[in-house]
Amino acid sequence: MVFTSAAFLFLFLPAFLAVFHALPVRTRPWWLLLASYAFYGWWRLDFLALFVGSTVAAFAAGRLVARWRESRPAGARWALGIGVGLQLLALAYFKYADFGIESLNALLTTFGGRGIPLPDVILPIGISFYVFQSISYLVDLWRRDGPEGARFVHVAAYIALFPQLIAGPILRFKHVAPQLLRPVPSWRSFGEGARRFMLGFTKKVLIADAVAPVVEASFALSSPTATDAWLGTIAFTVQLYFDFVGYSDMAIGLGGMIGIRIRENFDRPYLSASITEFWRRWHMSLSRWLREYLYFPLGGNRLGRRRTYANLATVMVLGGIWHGAAWTFAVWGAYHGALLALERMLGERREARGLPARGGARAWRVPATFLLVMLGWVLFRADGIGQAWTMLLGMAFVHGAGLSAELAWQLPNRGLASLLVGLVVIFWPAARTRYDDAGYRVPAWRAARDASGRVSGALAAARERATDWGIMPLFALSILRTLADTASPFLYFQF
């Protein structure tokens, strides 16, 4: 079930909200858990069993870690290792078994050997996200960085929370647990959540889905010209952003409708002035997870320059492979790891020479960073290294410059118009989003009031209300588009 499907909009969501708000507060976590399992099981019941088993294993291991951490630390470490190992084992089998065997077969064939039959494993939807949340729950218990003694219903509801179950944001139990104990939304939070959901819905349907045909047609060309390749790459840059930020908006909105605050996942990342800044503003929950549970345990930047560069490269390669079981994702991760290491190296050299850190010249650093990010997206989108190379050659004018006739007749007017609108929205000048101490976005009306007084706050609130009313006809149009077309899965569902 996807958020843009008629079954979710007109059946699941109204029924869930009606029952949720009618139930006593103490029973709402149970209803949230059952509804989340129904949401996940709508796709395949056998993978729901895997999901429940993964949750039970995480909860049982967590109980042992918390119980033995003081009295039997060796036993607690074993419980932690087994709990994390089981999660990683499930992820490795279902996500990487075919990829590993295919790579091995290619090596065996090269040396004249016989290949191993593929097991044809089906990837359970959302497994990368719920495995990461289970691991963070266990590690946080070991670190004493979260509530202990939580009931199963609260741990299971945290892992299965349907608004963000399939494609994030990745949550930590310590942020969600207090809200699960007493999920009581206010009218303000419900209204803000509904508006945020509508905003994300329009981003997904009217921009991301409309641009998708341009991307498909461009990347399918055997010899794209420079115009073909650049058009397809820019279109994918817009599609991926609005597809993923649209899902995140809907997830945050659904959380607000049931009284659960979900931290922001994007902060206008294409306006970043460096790759380092980009990863602070793109898929922020994944960046935080990789930093907290991989980069720091590897030593972070505490073990010398070379080790820091190696840690950055390792984390980004693993982060790339987390996105997908293909060499293109590994190379994409290595590409970003090299850029991060290079930026850090240049910064260290400037400091050693007594020069100020790079802070100005955003006028050229933002487009330069945007260009580097787009080049990486070619690898992210391509079906293989060969297709990525073909697109990069096209971008370098190897196959000519002008728009090819093969692509021209496939370009939909609606897709091109949505592409232009998406670019305008991405680069439209606006004030930087403010966040509170817990990492949640501060509403524009409150940020303006805090900064400039009551009058500015009232004006900001009026602008927000005008925007809200403008969203409604766009939301209605998005629903009509959804009913007229087949629902398009979110891109991050495959991860």
d(CA 94, CA 433): 38
d(CA 259, CA 235): 36
d(CA 393, CA 399): 7
First to last CA, the chain: 16
452 three-class SS: helix
Which stretches within 111-170 are classed as H helix? 127-142, 152-160
Task: For 146-170, give one letter per residue: b (16+ CB within 10 A) or e.
Answer: bbeebeeebbbbbbbbbbbbbbbbb
Q: Is 323 a catalytic residue?
A: yes
In angstroms and rounded to an integer, the radius of gyration of the C-alpha atoms of the chain is 24
d(CA 394, CA 371): 15
Active-site residue identified among 154, 283, 323, 399: 323
Which amino acid is residue 200, in one-letter code?
A: G
d(CA 299, CA 309): 11
441 three-class SS: strand
- With beta carbons less than 8 A apart as the criterion, state whether 100 and 115 touch: no
- With beta carbons less than 8 A apart as the criterion, state whether 170 and 129 touch: yes
User: How many residues comprise the chain?
Assistant: 495
- With beta carbons less than 8 A apart as the criterion, state whether 29 and 154 touch: yes
The DSSP secondary-structure symbol of 300 reads: T
Task: For 182-195, give one letter per residue: b (16+ CB within 10 A) or e.
Answer: ebebeeebbebbbb
CA distances from 17 to 39, 96, 190, 255, 375 (A): 13, 37, 11, 11, 43
Which residues neighbour 20 within 8 Å (Cβ) at sequence distance 6 or greater? 28, 31, 32, 35, 258
59 CB neighbour count, 10 Å cutoff: 20
- With beta carbons less than 8 A apart as the criterion, state whether 247 and 490 touch: yes
Q: Which residues pair with 435 in a beta bridge?
A: 441
Q: In which residue are the tokens 């004249």 written?
A: 112
Active site residues: 323
